[in-house]
Structure 1
Amino acid sequence: MGDRFGSLAGKRVLYTGAAGGLGLPTTLKLLDAGAQVVVLDNDPSKVAQLRTAAHEREGLDVVVCDLSDLNGLRKSLDTLTAQGDGFDIVINNAAIYPSKPFEEFTLDEMQLVHRINVEAAIVCVMAALPAMRAKGWGRIVNVSSITVAGAWDNLVPYVQSKMALVGLARGWAREFGVYGITANALAPGAFPTDAEAIHPDREAYEKRIIDSQAIKRRGRPDDIANALMFLCSDASAFITGQTLNVDGGWIMK
């Protein structure tokens, strides 16, 4: 991967929700490309899986962190920043995805989704920005979702949060470009992860996915990892404020 997009040696990555699902393969590719990866995650079993998968690789630092505690998050990030030379790359990937009809959500529940999925991402960028500006180089990638296209019900807070990340990427791209920092969103399609447990009829759901995609297979974690590696590399230096859909062509339907 380092040969394809260039080495990330010396780059320090802040990656939320990176221990499981679609995050783990990207974490391994980043480590293989020479990056130091600081993972923020709070799932003990997934953290254990990541540590096992990366046991022979150098550069991994896992921090168990509650992203809903924004003040605690900022304190942790300030400590991490002081321990290194800031962060060169931020990947905002962590998310929660409660599913039920809109009228059944309380305002507190909706605010919790926004706090974890969006406000934690804002805090991460606030912490990383000074070092990126000083270095004249930075990469920010917000992981959005195909759900922002509007084809799902019972996910209003999640869809809202994922569209907010697209808006943030565009706003950051405009303001930070002068410092050599790019900001983009990546929108995965329907990948086989734990999130699919919210769908009661998995067989019908699987058929819907394949019928909707131009590419007639399920997405693989490496499909996301390769796209993230591209957006984090010098190969994407002239790409900013964009949303890269990695969905097998579903968005065209």
Structure 2
Amino acid sequence: MNVKGKTILYTGAAGGLGLPATLAFLQAGATVVAIDHDPKKIAALSEAAKAAGHDRLVMKALEMADLVEFRAALETISREVGGFDVVINNAAIYPSKPFEEYTIEEHQAVQRVNVDAGIVCVQVALPTMKARGWGRIINIASVTVYGGWALLSPYVQSKGALVGLTRAWAREFGAHGVTVNAVAPGAFPTDAEKIHPDPEGYTRFVLDHQAVKRRGTPADIANALMFLASDASAFITGQTLNVDGGWVMH
């Protein structure tokens, strides 16, 4: 699974699942344009890359909610790095409360970061992909779209939108050598789990639902991303890969 020489645009790249995958791509010889906004996470990723001797990390602190400024920044970065070969739309926000307590503005805010910013990424990257006749777009969805989770309606809505866009883009971009797939992580022990008041009870809940009786690790996601970003997945498009230990099976 060779990604050497590829340039990857990766949003949310310094998060719990993003950081290990970013390091894996760097180790494999790719250049990673890592987008994040959390100063502590950005520092951690930068230090980890430096410690590992990687010099192909392009770290950018950007606020994705401002779509106009975000697009302008990405266009500048694209010119600087010579375009993007791979886009990984991973950044997301995930408020949690009863549906009737959300304002429409809160729904729109989640959609803007989780979906609309990803649309901007693809619009900036696509011309180069088409010109090269090669591209990989990977949307990070979630097993929450299959149901079973309350209090997360804007987040679930946004992830469902990404699955729909995965299929629409796959159909439209395939003739240009661009594949589009989604990865739906299961319940991984990241910062997102901190919204749960009973961590031990939640872990029991997760393992009860999985076929594989261990918690997922960042390497499980990194391996899936590496596969979908490489030529090994060239005949796979429009698919959602559930990396969830067998929680959801269809």
The TM-score normalised by the length of structure 1 is 0.97
Shift of the alpha carbon at 1:252?
2.9
Aligned match of 1:19: 14
Aligned match of 1:165: 162
Aligned match of 1:151: 148
Q: Does 1:91 find its partner at 2:88?
A: yes
Equivalent residue for 1:176, pick from 133, 158, 173 = 173
Q: Aligned partners of 1:252 and 1:244: how far apart in 2?
A: 11
SS class of match (1:54): helix
Q: Aligned in 2, Cα 1:9/1:252: closer, same or farther, shift over 3 Å?
A: closer
Aligned match of 1:28: 23
| Amino acid in the other structure paired with 2:137 | I
Aligned match of 1:57: 54
Q: Aligned partners of 2:167 and 2:28: how far apart in 1?
A: 27
Aligned match of 2:37: 42
- Which of structure 1's runs of 4+ aligned residues deviate more than 3 A? none
Equivalent residue for 1:211, pick from 190, 199, 208 = 208
Q: What is the CA deviation profile of residues 7-34 of structure 1, one whole-angstrom value per residue up to 9, with x for unaligned ones?
A: x222110000001210011101111111
SS class of match (2:65): coil
Aligned match of 1:241: 238
Q: How many percent of aligned residue pairs carry the same amino acid?
A: 63
Q: Aligned partners of 2:4 and 2:183: how far apart in 1?
A: 23
Q: Aligned partners of 2:153 and 2:4: how far apart in 1?
A: 40
Aligned match of 1:69: 66
Query: Cα RMSD between the aligned structures?
Result: 0.8
Size of the aligned set, in residue pairs, is: 248
Q: Aligned partners of 2:235 and 2:152: how far apart in 1?
A: 34
Q: What is the CA deviation profile of residues 12-64 of structure 1, one whole-angstrom value per residue up to 9, with x for unaligned ones?
A: 10000001210011101111111110011000000111011110102100110
The TM-score normalised by the length of structure 2 is 0.98
Equivalent residue for 2:4, pick from 5, 9, 14 = 9
Aligned match of 1:202: 199
| Amino acid in the other structure paired with 1:52 | E
SS class of match (1:115): helix
Q: What is the CA deviation profile of residues 180-217 of structure 1, one whole-angstrom value per residue up to 9, with x for unaligned ones?
A: 00000000000000000111111211101001000000
Shift of the alpha carbon at 1:233?
0.4
| Amino acid in the other structure paired with 2:125 | A
* Structure 2 unmatched ranges of 5 or more: none
Q: What is the CA deviation profile of residues 127-185 of structure 1, one whole-angstrom value per residue up to 9, with x for unaligned ones?
A: 00000000000000000001111110000000000010011111000000000000000
| Amino acid in the other structure paired with 1:90 | V
SS class of match (1:192): coil
Shift of the alpha carbon at 1:82?
1.3
Q: What is the CA deviation profile of residues 54-104 of structure 1, one whole-angstrom value per residue up to 9, with x for unaligned ones?
A: 101021001100000000010001101111221000000000000000000
Aligned match of 1:188: 185
Aligned match of 1:80: 77
SS class of match (1:140): strand
Equivalent residue for 2:247, pick from 237, 246, 250 = 250
Q: Aligned partners of 2:4 and 2:239: how far apart in 1?
A: 25
Shift of the alpha carbon at 1:230?
0.3
| Amino acid in the other structure paired with 2:187 | A
Q: Does 1:124 find its partner at 2:128?
A: no
Q: Aligned partners of 1:108 and 1:161: how far apart in 2?
A: 14
